[in-house]
Chain A
Amino acid sequence: MPPKRPSKANEETPSRRNEEPNKDEREDSKAKIPPELIAKLVKNFLEDEGTKVSGAATKTVGEYMHLFLTEAVYRAVSNRRDGDPWAKTTNSGLMLEVEDLEKIAPQLLLDF
């Protein structure tokens, strides 16, 4: 049985790689949530108006969320590979669905 979308997966990889440099000029290839957005999001959820967040702390929260999100994707993929032996042979064409996230979410939240 062939992967669901083999041609699409193979086509998209090189074209997206070419886009990468112009897509993100600030950081060298590593996609990051901008610190300004992190600061706004944290501020949005604070209960006390007087609480401030230092610049270094904002950057560290950014790193924390980056790890959280990347870990979610990696866990979803590794969970799919273990659960589905057919996917073990070929990784390409694997589509991550909401159910994949549902399966790894409880442990992910406990670990973060």
Chain B
Amino acid sequence: MSADDTEQERLKSALWYHVGKLVDEACLDLNVNATPQFIGSLTELAWVQFDNIAKDLENFAKHANRSTVSTADVLLLARKNPDLHGLLQKAVDEEAAERAAKSAGKSKR
């Protein structure tokens, strides 16, 4: 149990570090500053959000009789927010195009 707890703490620290970098970047664009407490709370919020979406994704995949979570499941997360859905759809399309371009390049060589 304690080994599991330390693993959780390490994951959270890693998330904290990257949330901090992301917030710094957004703050630079807006010319504002964020307190360390703000970053800490946002990390906590992201942590809970990860818990929620991971369980949602798992159940979406199960509902489609799959054991692997696909991009379609992630898009389903944004079903209630058309703007978010559009942005994620764009990311998925770009990723697919990148992948197709890479495999096309490989088969040519």
Contacts and interface: CB of A to CB of B under 8 A. Distances in A.
Interface of A: 5, 8-9, 12-13, 16-17, 23-24, 30-34, 37, 40-42, 44-48, 50-54, 56-57, 59-61, 63-70, 72-74, 76-77, 91-98, 100-102, 105, 108-109, 111-112
Given A33-B22, A69-B46, A105-B45, A46 B30 contact: no
Contacts of A57: 57, 69-71, 73-74
A74 B11 CA distance: 25
Interface string B26-53: 1110111111011001100110011101
Contact of B71 (A60, A72, A73): A60
A112 B42 CA distance: 14
What is the predominant secondary structure among interface residues of chain B facing chain A?
helix
* Chain B interface residue bracket vs A: 35 or more
Interface of B: 7-8, 11, 14-15, 18-19, 21-28, 30-35, 37-38, 41-42, 45-46, 49-51, 53-55, 57-58, 61-62, 67-71, 73-75, 77-78, 81, 84, 87-88, 91-92, 95-96, 99
Q: Which of A95, A96, A102 has the most CB of B within 10 A?
A: A96
A97 B49 CA distance: 20
